[in-house]
Structure 1
Amino acid sequence: MRLSLEDRLFGCLLGQAVGDALGFPVEGRPPTICAAYVDDVLRRGRARSVSAESFAFGQYTDDTQLARELVISYVNRQGFDPADYGKRIAAIFVEGRIVGRGRITEAAAWRLAQGVPWNEAGASAPAVGNGGASRAGPIGVLYNYDGERRKQVAADQSRITHTDPRAVAGSVAIASAVALAGQTIQFDRTNFVEALSEEVASTNDGFTQALRRLPTWLRLHPHGAATEIAAAGLGAGEYRKWDGISPFVTSSVLWALYSFLRSPDDYWETILTAIAVGGDVDTTAAMAGAIAGARLGPAAIPAQLVRHIHDRGTWKAFDLKSLARDASQIAQRTTTPSQPAPQAGESSS
């Protein structure tokens, strides 16, 4: 059964928030610690026994905060307005509401706060973090039927903070993955990767070539695949000190996609795969969760975790549901599915 646009958007936001919150307690930790956390805590139903820093269990980070702010801006402006979204990014930093801030995004936020226009505030190469990609998921639902507009919005929202073509490509990849993931009930991994590569091809060739290697990596055990993916696309000196998947946009987006593609019909396994190999696991689990949540809907996300999701006691699951309802109503009024988006394959795999 196909999901409504509202359920897909709520699933995307909720799937991201839960993945983000579960990864937060072990963010930046090495593979050994993250694997033990997955096996001894998450698989045993003990997630609530571990929290991050001084936050109550269920707190999500900047990845979900900024994805949520994008949707709030979309609702307030009746569509995507990069200048308005830039102001929201600046405000959440200036007001001290951000959780787990990214260095590149923070620097851009302060430039925005000082009056630098949205299209001039973003960091250029070699700033290739995953900040833009981590908040791009909802775009894939809001612009599901308009591939060109979806890619433009994903690219523009990335450029507010990250202008390196690889960072832009990562944002387009996540938005496109969310769109493609929900377009078929029977899922074909090979066709999905091919369609996704075509979506990203005009953005950055190197990123596209890395995407095309996903079917090969999917034949490997997660820890073997993680070793190769962690090194994919790295230039000299870029993010090489990380143990696990770094915030480098190419490897972190690839790992989120790998995690989803290993179990496209099992949200929980997707999140566990994203976290188990260590590194920037709140972000990889957030991105993987956004894709899986958009495909499978809110009912596929463990209810015992959903009820604890929050942002310092606010913006809980009910609030995200209300936001998804308001945004989906606007999307339905302003987009027309006259030409369905390319299918990601109809045969099972």
Structure 2
Amino acid sequence: MTTGSLHDKAAGCLVGSAVGDALGGPTEGLAPAQIRQRWDGWVRGIVPPYHDDWRTARPIAPYHKGDGHITDDTLMTHLLVQVYLDKGDHLDAYDIAERLVPRLIGDKVWVPELETETLLLHRVFLAEKYLALRLHWGHADPREAGVGNAVNCGAAMYVAPVGVINAADPDAAYAEAIEIAGAHQSSYGREAAGVFAAAVAAAMVPDATVDSVVGTALRLAKDGTRVAIEAVAEAASRVDHWTEAIESGVLRAAVRPYDTVADTYRDQGLGARRPSRLHSIEELPLALGFLVIAGGEWERTVHGGVNYGRDADSIASMGGALAGALGGRKVVPDALVEAVIRASRTDLEAPAADLATLAVRIRKADADRRARAERDFGRLLEG
């Protein structure tokens, strides 16, 4: 791959996202103090699970998070790549119902956190199981099936492929992600999916910068999502290192007014994960905030997300995708990539290569359609 090419940036994005996900899995749901106590300091690499008895410590989530295992964030991302490859074109909400859900409930995959080959449905959490409930059993209109689901980062966490398919066209990425996310999410959960896909598309531009990525997110984001990103980005601009941001609590303070999840992460307040025009998911603003603090550098962006705790795997995965798209495949350390591939028994490179190849074909077809439309419009003007 040529550095800075479509294939290079796609690999940086998807591989960087997967490794960030694997590093953040063990720290998910924890507070920074718990993280440092459990692992004797900041987590900067692959660590074992928080609970030695991970199968029974939390019966509602009996997952082996740690030891280099990717989580449902990456499994769902790879599933969306497969749906793109199936169709060979842009996706809409009906493709989620007719292509993604059948794979979710019918295709066996290796699930590292369950240490077995099984249906992905058995690993995804409740807000993602809602896809099968609404679209397969409930036969809901795919364009609005996400209404009634818990509003969270469930759709945003796997839409990076939308940004790759629409590389350098964030407006198109936003529109496509908003379309497909309607099958899964509503309100600010759906909005975050659109904005994250747009940010990835912006990061794919050859001369993209952290400022251009954040600027794109702010230009397209609506309501509480835009205000939360603005507040976190401003706070991040005043911090020199992710350790300072976590110890001072400045990013948490910035996002708190817009987050419906309590400071004690597993506590459920009355308004938690309910639709609102005033609120935002926490993960996307934080991923952008750590990207700002790190100046776009992959390791520091991901380490910030990992050690922040709370929904650490999604924050680190989103931040890793954006920093990887900015810097290309070389910014994700080979030793980490190889360790995660071995531990997860999952090919992290091939999905990115296949998606980039497909993006070329789709964009050629887009250009041909656009040329025909412009030609026909020109004939209208002549008439």
Identity %: 22
- Shift in CA distance, 121/212, structure 1 to aligned 2, threshold 3 Å: same
Residue 149 in 1 paired to residue 160 in 2?
Answer: no
Whether contact under 8 Å (2:168, 2:202) holds in the other structure is no
Select which of 194, 206, 214 maps to 2:224: 206
1:257 aligns with 2:292: no
| Structure 2 partner of 1:181 | 203
Amino acid at match of 1:131: G
1:64 aligns with 2:93: no
Alpha-carbon distance in 2 for matches of 1:25, 1:321? 25
Counterpart contact for 1:32–1:278, Cα < 8 Å: no
> Does the alignment pair 1:233 with 2:255?
no
Please list the CA deviations of residues 110-159 of structure 1 after superposition, one character each: whole Å capped at 9, or x if unmatched: 2222133322321347x320111111222122112434322211101211
The one-letter amino acid paired with 1:275 is V
Where does residue 111 of structure 2 map in the other structure?
none
**TM-score where L is the length of structure 2:** 0.75
Structure 1: how far apart are the matches of 2:210 and 2:65?
39
Give the count of matched residue pairs: 327
1:113 is aligned to 2:136: yes
Tell me the CA shift for residue 27 of structure 1: 1.5
Matches within 5 A, 1:14-33: 14-33=15-34
Question: For structure 1, which runs of at least 5 residues remain unmatched after alignment?
Answer: 339-349
Q: Which residue among 287, 299, 302 is the counterpart of 2:318?
A: 287
User: Contact 1:74–1:81 (CA<8 Å) still a contact in 2?
Assistant: yes
Aligned to 1:277: 308
Length-normalised TM-score, structure 1: 0.81
Q: Against the structure 1 CA distance between its residues 252 and 57, is the aligned structure 2 distance closer, same or farther, given a 3 Å change threshold? A: same
Unpaired segments ≥5 residues, structure 2 = 55-62, 108-118, 274-279, 371-383
CA gap of 1:54–1:105, structure 2 versus 1, over 3 A, is closer
Q: Which amino acid in the other structure matches residue 141 of structure 2?
A: P
- Is 1:196 the counterpart of 2:217? The answer is yes
Query: Separation in 2 of the partners of 1:85 and 1:259?
Result: 31
Residue type of the partner of 1:253? L
| Matches of 1:335 and 1:152, distance apart in 2 | 15
| Partner residue in 2 for 1:161 | 184
Q: Are 2:245 and 1:222 aligned?
A: yes
AA at the equivalent of 1:173: V
Of 354, 360, 366 in structure 2, the residue corresponding to residue 323 of structure 1 is 354
The answer to whether the 8 A contact 1:16-1:288 is kept is yes
Out of 84, 100, 123, the position equivalent to 1:88 is 100
Superposed displacement of residue 318, structure 1: 3.7
Equivalents in 2 of 1:150, 1:65: separation in Å? 21
Asked if structure 2 preserves the Cα contact closer than 8 Å seen for 1:28 and 1:278, the reply is yes
Is the 8 Å Cα contact of residues 59 and 311 (structure 1) preserved in structure 2? no
Highest relative contact order (Cα 8 Å, sep 6+), 1 or 2? 1
Asked if structure 2 preserves the Cα contact closer than 8 Å seen for 1:140 and 1:177, the reply is yes
In 1, distance between residues paired with 2:209 and 2:318?
19
The separation in 1 between residues aligned to 2:66 and 2:228, in whole angstroms, is 38
Per-residue deviation, residues 214-259 of structure 1 (Å, max 9, x unmatched): 342111441222321441313xxx3226349999653211101111
Change (3 A) 1:37 1:226: farther
Query: Aligned partners of 1:65 and 1:181: how far apart in 2?
Result: 22
Q: 1:222 to 1:37 in 2, by over 3 A?
A: farther
**Using the alignment, how far apart are the partners of 1:188 and 1:282 within structure 2?**
21
- Among 98, 102, 117, the residue aligned to 2:125: 102
The whole-number CA distance in structure 1 between the counterparts of 2:163 and 2:331 is 19
* CA distance in structure 2 between the aligned counterparts of 1:306 and 1:193, rounded to whole angstroms: 27
Once structures 1 and 2 are overlaid, which stretch shifts more, 19-28 or 308-317? Answer: 308-317
Q: 1:319 to 1:192 in 2, by over 3 A?
A: closer
Please say if residues 26 and 65 of structure 2, whose CA atoms lie closer than 8 Å, have aligned partners that are also in contact. no
